[in-house]
A and B are shown apart, each in its own frame.
Chain A
Amino acid sequence: MRGLFQNKYIVALLIITVLIIVLMAVASLGQGSVRVLEKVCGTVVAPFQKAFTAIGDWFVDLSVYFQSKKQLSAQNEEYRDEILELNIKLAAMADLENENKNLRDMLEIQKNEATRSVISAEVISKESGPWFSMFTIDKGLVQGIRLNQPVVVGSNGLVGQVAEVGLNWSKVISVISPDSAAGALVARTRDVCMVEGDADLEKQGFCKVTFIAENSGISVGDYIETSGIGGVYPKGLLIGVVKEVVTDEEDGSAYAILEPVVGFDRISQVFVLNTETDQ
């Protein structure tokens, strides 16, 4: 034991150990003087820590920047796919909406015209030009289409009548065609008149209201509907709205320019009214 203490290294180690233990004890008692050494160390290291933290933060920011860029790019790609998908859905929904509207219209027609049967048909071709003077539908004799049957869109918007019938197709002449004429009346005044196609007005998508009584109070904005006279068109089908009333100064006769309620330029599905069942 005595030999052990003669070794100066061991003695030094023991002294240091005791010293450290004393320091530990003093520090644990909360003596501020012992903490001076730690404070010095802290003061020396702090600027370096700050520098390291700044560098670390810079790298973190850099990685976040690249990560966010990558994320944004991926997100962008994701959104593009989503938009494409949504557009497809939107188109499908528009089709469904259209179909729904058509079916509702068909139902409405069937309610209004309880005694008539309705044949739904798709427009498969039309004459060249912006307006449907004459067009072909995909239903014919086989489906029960007959000559002169009235053709409508929506619940009761008059399109025209069947002018030619094939086995599985039919040609429809529209109300704006110069070859077309229909007995009509002014919805507001109940004055009887005639709606005819006009070669000049047809190009503009309009037709003519003729045989207007002299004392008729027809005016712009009046609705014109079928009168049922003539037997081709049933009563109450809406033809159009008066756009302009023209009076001949010489003989005092008047005619009106009619804007059909049917949008002929975007017509795609029509309903053929089977008036034969009435009879």
Chain B
Amino acid sequence: MIKRVLIHLCTVVLLTSLQTTWLQIPPVAPNLLLIFSLIIALLEGSIIGGVYALICGVFMDTFSGGPAFLNTLLFLYAAIGIALVSNRVISKTPTNGILLTTAFSSVYFLVYYALSLLIWGDGYSFIRFFLMILIYTLYSAIIATAFFFPIRRYVRRTPIL
């Protein structure tokens, strides 16, 4: 149990480092921490997913430069949301999981920028915003596909509860 928590914490730290160093791709970068917490929530359920989302959100907030704890809150709700949808609405297949992760990631992007617009007044033109969300969704789909299978294999091998 402790070993797994430590491994996950290390993963979070590594993903944060990766996110804040190599993945500074303008205009948008794929959100590794969000995708990681969404997949955990998808596979482990809303409680564990929520805890991971909180941790990942705090790490994300530390380096995002945006309003403090905004990511934490959004990560939390996204994780709980994806867990509820996967438990009650659609079947748990890898394809559904990846699609759901991508969809929630894109919704997070929309909400985050809507809130940014409200809080900071940072707005983009419609075409620019459309392109940004398109690129972000594409990135998310690629990262979700890359993350899903290794995480699922690891979660199945060492269940947390």
Contact = CB atoms under 8 A, between A and B. Distances in A.
Whether A associates with B in a native complex is yes
Interface of A: 9, 13, 16-17, 20-21, 23-24, 27-28, 34-35, 37-38, 41-42, 44-45, 48-49, 51-53, 56
B114 interface: no
B17 A23 contact: no
A21 B62 contact: no
7 contacts: A20-B72, A38-B61, A41-B59, A41-B62, A49-B21, A52-B18, A52-B22
Given A16-B76, A45-B62, A56 B68 contact: no
Contacts of B18: 52
Contacts of B69: 20, 23-24, 27
Interface of B: 13-14, 16-18, 20-22, 46-47, 50, 54, 58-59, 61-63, 67-70, 72-73, 76, 80
B84 to A, nearest CB: 10
B76 A56 contact: no
Nearest to B14: A48
Contact of B17 (A28, A37, A49): A49
A72 to B, nearest CB: 28
Given A13-B80, A24-B73, A41-B62, A52 B17 contact: yes
B4 to A, nearest CB: 18
Nearest to B9: A44
Contacts of A52: 17-18, 21-22
Contact of A23 (B13, B46, B68, B76): B68
A53 B21 contact: yes
A24 B67 CA distance: 7
Contacts of B70: 24
Given A23-B69, A35-B68, 10 more contacts: A17-B76, A20-B72, A20-B73, A20-B76, A24-B68, A38-B62, A45-B13, A45-B20, A49-B20, A52-B17
A56 B67 contact: no
A41 B22 CA distance: 19
Nearest to A46: B17
